[in-house]
């Protein structure tokens, strides 16, 4: 019996591959793998094109390391050529998904980062409280061990609903179902890897479960999966006020009883439909007037401020930063603190630390100079 032929590649594949390469190198151009790829750019792109078009492409090895900030977690870095493939796939299929995402879905969506999420939530809070003139409550939830708990088969069904072209569907399946644990090089001390809780490590996830943190494809796939949650909240629960950033989400309502009913519904629906669980230790239901902590900021009556713990860490890091990195570090943190509506006092504290270390700061407290 003859094997079925490989799906035909897109005739415009090479142009799309070049565009994907240009997107991929924007933030990785100085990395060793990017420089090695660029040294033989034309040949490498042609070889990658031929592998993709001929059906012989296979993902290469990954590098795994552990970061400690903002919290302890594993990061998986694919080879540069594999990152190009991730961008290629994203550029092709993402627009058809992004068009249907709700406006309250944030992260890995152009123009919808942490500032958008904080501003969106502040708008929702002002709406539900009639500009802080009436009481309301909020329900804040977090999905337990989200990335390492994702069921790839559930996700694949959601992707295939909108990816109909055989070749692109085949590439989607290959990128999603690839298990980086089969070929990985661990960088860093074994003691640091041992500090990662076992239930948060991809190494301990069951087969066909979990996405590697660090790839564009993983971030996009996560949004596709959780779009089902967004649709449930907006169209089944009919939640008038809701914002989600990756696996953290907030529902707002005048009635705490309604929020409890929503919590009961989602606690049953998530395991049944998406094979995910809410984290009970991070489930919060309380009055909005106490402040809503979300994406590093706290929304309080008439103001949005940077989380106190975040400010303390910023000041500590700047005080301990190497001299050659100090200016870039201070200016980066000025940008972070400017996102809050009431951040002048925090920026003044940062400016004082910078001055103590021999730097000048402009009068607007937005930029430091040696």
Give the pLDDT of residue 3.
42
This prediction has a pTM of 0.92
- Of the pLDDT bands very low, low, confident and very high (cuts 50, 70, 90), residue 27 is confident
> What sign does the dihedral 278-306-113-287 (CA atoms) show?
positive
Q: Return mean pLDDT, the chain.
A: 94
pLDDT greater than 60 at residue 1: no
What are the tens digits of pLDDT across the range 29-38? Answer: 778 888 999 9
pLDDT greater than 70 at residue 4: no
- Of the pLDDT bands very low, low, confident and very high (cuts 50, 70, 90), residue 7 is confident
Give the pLDDT of residue 74.
95
Give the pLDDT of residue 88.
97
By the 8 A CB rule, do 141 and 282 touch?
Answer: yes
pLDDT greater than 70 at residue 47: yes
Mean pLDDT, residues 257-276:
98
- Of the pLDDT bands very low, low, confident and very high (cuts 50, 70, 90), residue 137 is very high
Give the pLDDT of residue 357.
95
pLDDT greater than 80 at residue 8: no
With left for phi above 0 and alpha for psi between -120 and 50, is residue 32 left, alpha or beta? alpha
What are the tens digits of pLDDT across the range 229-253? Answer: 999 999 999 999 999 999 999 999 9
% of the chain exceeding 90 in pLDDT = 92
Gyration radius from the chain CA atoms? 23
Give the pLDDT of residue 2.
41
Mean pLDDT, residues 174-200:
94
Q: Which residues contact 142 (CB under 8 A, 6 or more apart)?
A: 247, 248, 278, 279, 282, 283
What are the tens digits of pLDDT across the range 278-326? Answer: 999 999 999 999 999 999 999 999 999 999 999 999 999 999 999 999 9
Q: Which residues contact 275 (CB under 8 A, 6 or more apart)?
A: 149, 151, 154
Q: Tell me the β-bridge partners of 140.
A: 250, 284
pLDDT greater than 70 at residue 366: yes
Give the pLDDT of residue 70.
80
- Of the pLDDT bands very low, low, confident and very high (cuts 50, 70, 90), residue 273 is very high
């Amino acid at each position: 019996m003859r094997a079925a032929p490989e799906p035909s590649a897109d005739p415009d594949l090479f142009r799309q591959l070049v565009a994907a390469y240009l997107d991929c190198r924007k933030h990785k151009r100085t990395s060793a793998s990017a420089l090695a790829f660029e040294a033989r750019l034309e040949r490498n792109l042609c070889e990658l094109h031929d592998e993709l078009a001929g059906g012989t492409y296979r993902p290469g090895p990954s590098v795994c390391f552990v970061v400690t900030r903002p919290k302890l977690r594993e990061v998986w870095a694919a080879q540069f050529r594999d990152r190009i493939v991730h961008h290629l796939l994203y550029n092709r299929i993402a627009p058809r998904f992004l068009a249907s995402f709700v406006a309250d879905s944030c992260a890995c969506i152009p123009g919808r980062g942490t500032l958008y999420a904080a501003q969106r939530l502040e708008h929702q809070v002002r709406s539900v409280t009639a500009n802080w003139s009436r009481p309301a409550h909020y329900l804040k939830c977090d999905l337990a061990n989200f990335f390492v708990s994702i069921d790839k088969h559930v996700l694949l069904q959601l992707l295939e609903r909108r990816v109909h072209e055989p070749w692109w569907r085949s590439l989607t399946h290959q990128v999603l179902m690839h298990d980086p644990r089969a070929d990985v090089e661990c960088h860093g001390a074994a003691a640091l890897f041992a500090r990662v809780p076992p239930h948060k490590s991809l190494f301990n996830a069951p087969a066909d479960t979990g996405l590697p943190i660090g790839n564009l494809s993983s971030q996009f796939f996560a949004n596709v999966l959780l779009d089902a949650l967004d649709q449930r909240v907006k169209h089944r629960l009919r939640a008038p006020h809701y914002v989600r950033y990756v696996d953290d989400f907030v529902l707002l309502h005048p009635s705490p009883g309604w929020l409890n009913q929503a919590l009961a519904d989602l606690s049953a629906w998530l395991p049944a439909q998406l094979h995910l669980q809410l984290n009970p230790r991070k489930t919060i239901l309380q009055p909005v007037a106490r402040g809503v902590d979300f994406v590093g900021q706290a929304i309080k009556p008439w103001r949005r401020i940077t989380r106190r713990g975040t400010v303390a860490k910023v000041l500590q890091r700047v005080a301990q930063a190497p001299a050659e990195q100090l200016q870039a570090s201070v200016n980066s943190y000025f940008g972070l603190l400017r996102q809050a509506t009431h951040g002048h006092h925090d920026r003044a504290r940062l400016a004082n630390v910078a001055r103590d270390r021999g730097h000048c700061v402009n009068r607007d407290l937005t930029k430091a100079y040696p």
